[in-house]
Structure 1
Amino acid sequence: MIEVSVIVPVRNAPRTLGVQLEALLEQENAPRYEVVVVDNDSTDGTAAVADAYSARYRQSNRAELRLVSAPAHRSASYSRNVGVRFSHGSKLLFCDGDDCVPAHWVWQGAELLEQCDLYSGAAVPLRDEHFPDAVAGVRQWLGDDSELCPLEDHQRNAPFPVLMGGNFGIRKSTMLELGGFDHSMGSAGEDNELALRIRASGRSVLTTPGAKLAYRIRTGHRSVFAAARRGGRAHALNAHRYGLWRESEVVGHGRWFSGLASALGSAGKMLVAPQSRDLDGISGRLGTTCGALEGGCPLPGARAFGKARTPRWLRR
């Protein structure tokens, strides 16, 4: 009987998915588990990679791997909801298809969910161009702690609790009760929106320095700007929805304006002194400010004041 379902949303990830599926296959001391790869409308060889590993999982007799399709909406949050729908385990673990988990990750997640309803794990960054192409290389750099680290409640009084959508665990009954992810948030911030609903339900978003994984950092000022813009918009939407505008360190009390001024000042300094060039840093600050303005303005069609929208099958 399957105890743990590992849900992996993917879209166009044939280059990176194999490392993560290899890492999930090579788990130690884990209870019976399945890996649910959710293909979010890929247009390349992603499904073929998952199919190839499905045969290897069957041969190993360690776990099961299933590929399911989620073409309706292009977002990790929607894909994760579809994965929940098709999962068989009572404990759900979430990771992404371009990262790499250590050897005791499933075991740690299962043990932690014996102690709590949900937890948020830790992530160790590694630049994409330096990310090893084999599990052994990642784990040599990441390490693997076979000890179970204690759960911590450091976010109890934080106005914006953080849930790491790419590395967390939750009991399936709790996920269904909460209604899953709100995929109307778009491509960012849906995990922290869920964290705010978790707190509204009377629960804490517990964290642990263990249950860590390695994740890829994308670099380049265009990618940094785009990611920061999505994050800034999502933060502003959450601040509006939950009445936390004043508490926000991004937009509260005119901070968005000071952030814009800081970014423009840094850009001017870079023109005068090219040796101080920091395109990624400036792009990040500008992106966050632009996104915050988009999310903070009650424009037609904005969902800032709406209720969480979840699939009907998760509201049953």
Structure 2
Amino acid sequence: MPNAARISVVIPVKDDDTELARCLRALARQTVPADEVIVVDNGSTDASADVARAFGARLVRCEAPGIPAASAAGYDAAEGDLILRLDADCVPDESWTAAMAVAFAARRGVAAFTGAARFIDGPALLRTPLATLYLGTYAAVMIPTLGHLPLFGSNMGLRRAAWLGIRSSVHLDAELHDDMDLAFHLGERGRIRHLSGARMGISMRPFAPGQAFGRRAARGLRTVLVHFPHDFPPVRWTRRLLRGVRRRVAGRRYDTRPSPGLDTRSHR
């Protein structure tokens, strides 16, 4: 990929050494290797740090508790033009980084891409329906709330420039969902689009006994409410509508034309 943007992959982790090793093996098989893989150790007591070093990843330590702080530490440390994000228990397809890189090159006006996922463990008969329920419910709730697509932290990418533009606004509260909070802020400044070609396998752990699925839902509600009243849906929709009108009048700020020679028919 000539003149390709530099790619950083960020993986926040806490006590997931076995899953992290599986994830890093999958990243090592990418058809377009990342320029750097950053593992953010959020206070692990297992061998996660040793696993990261063994695979040649760049290890960043984050003492502040919670995924929001760990993810932000990884984005801050990233040196690439594109920052791709997944979790330690994720298994990306071999074309994941390539799909992200091509999409960003083809759509210069897009600030972030988000993809779906499939479950790779748990009862085989439940994998597809539970994945559809899990991600479908998330989208059904968050699209009306945000006025645009949400981000899915297990499969997403954003431009480093976009991150730097919102860095001072994101919340680092451990009881919030970092991807949901990021979508609130990023959607105010740029476009978020779905990328079907970025295929990702994830664990069914959210549905496992003792994983406190209700707590995850409570965190989601808290993430939404922390943005009120500024982002109360009708207020946010109106603000976005007016901003879109101003952009059309003033002309597009970013060049959204596809790059020459790139087939963008599969990207939305």
**TM-score (norm. length: structure 2):** 0.70
Matches within 5 A, 1:56-95: 65-71=57-63, 73-95=64-86
Partner of 1:186: 174
1:194 shift after superposition: 1.9
Q: Say whether residues 1:121 and 2:121 are aligned partners.
A: no
Identity of aligned residues (%): 25
Q: Which amino acid is 1:15 matched to?
A: T
Q: For 2:188 and 2:89, locate their aligned partners in 1 and report how far apart those are by CA, in whole Å.
A: 31
Q: Which amino acid is 1:69 matched to?
A: R
Q: Which has the larger radius of gyration?
A: 1
Partner of 1:236: 225
Q: Which amino acid is 2:157 matched to?
A: G
2:144 counterpart (152, 158, 162):
158
Partner of 1:252: none
Q: C-alpha deviations, 1:209-249, integer Å up to 9, x for none?
A: 221211112222662222222223223333544123899xx
* Conservation of the 8 A alpha-carbon contact between 1:5 and 1:87: yes
SS at match of 2:225: helix
2:199 counterpart (198, 203, 212):
212
Structure 1 pair 204/82, CA: closer, same or farther in 2 (3 Å)?
Answer: same
* Conservation of the 8 A alpha-carbon contact between 1:2 and 1:34: no
1:31 shift after superposition: 5.5
SS at match of 1:38: strand
Partner of 2:248: none
Q: For 1:6 and 1:217, locate their aligned partners in 2 and report how far apart those are by CA, in whole Å.
A: 22
- Structure scoring higher RCO (CA < 8 A, sep ≥ 6) equals 2
Tell me how large the CA RMSD over aligned residues is: 2.9
1:164 shift after superposition: 0.9
Partner of 1:272: none
Structure 1 pair 106/245, CA: closer, same or farther in 2 (3 Å)?
Answer: same
Q: For structure 2, which runs of at least 5 residues remain unmatched after alignment?
A: 125-139, 237-268
SS at match of 2:172: helix
Q: C-alpha deviations, 1:29-62, integer Å up to 9, x for none?
A: x1552111111111121111112212xxxxxxxx
Partner of 2:36: 34
Q: For 1:246 and 1:175, locate their aligned partners in 2 and report how far apart those are by CA, in whole Å.
A: 24
Structure 1 pair 246/85, CA: closer, same or farther in 2 (3 Å)?
Answer: closer
Q: Which amino acid is 1:42 matched to?
A: S
1:158 shift after superposition: 3.5
2:26 counterpart (17, 23, 27):
23
* Conservation of the 8 A alpha-carbon contact between 2:120 and 2:201: yes
Q: For 1:195 and 1:246, locate their aligned partners in 2 and report how far apart those are by CA, in whole Å.
A: 16
* Conservation of the 8 A alpha-carbon contact between 1:91 and 1:170: yes
* Conservation of the 8 A alpha-carbon contact between 1:77 and 1:190: yes
* Conservation of the 8 A alpha-carbon contact between 2:169 and 2:185: no
Q: What is the total number of aligned residue pairs between the two structures?
A: 211
* Conservation of the 8 A alpha-carbon contact between 2:17 and 2:47: yes
* Conservation of the 8 A alpha-carbon contact between 2:14 and 2:43: yes
1:68 shift after superposition: 1.4
* TM superposition outliers: structure 1 runs of 4+ over 6 Å: 154-157
1:108 shift after superposition: 1.0
1:199 shift after superposition: 2.5
Structure 1 pair 8/130, CA: closer, same or farther in 2 (3 Å)?
Answer: farther
Structure 1 pair 157/50, CA: closer, same or farther in 2 (3 Å)?
Answer: closer
1:27 shift after superposition: 0.7
* Conservation of the 8 A alpha-carbon contact between 1:122 and 1:210: no
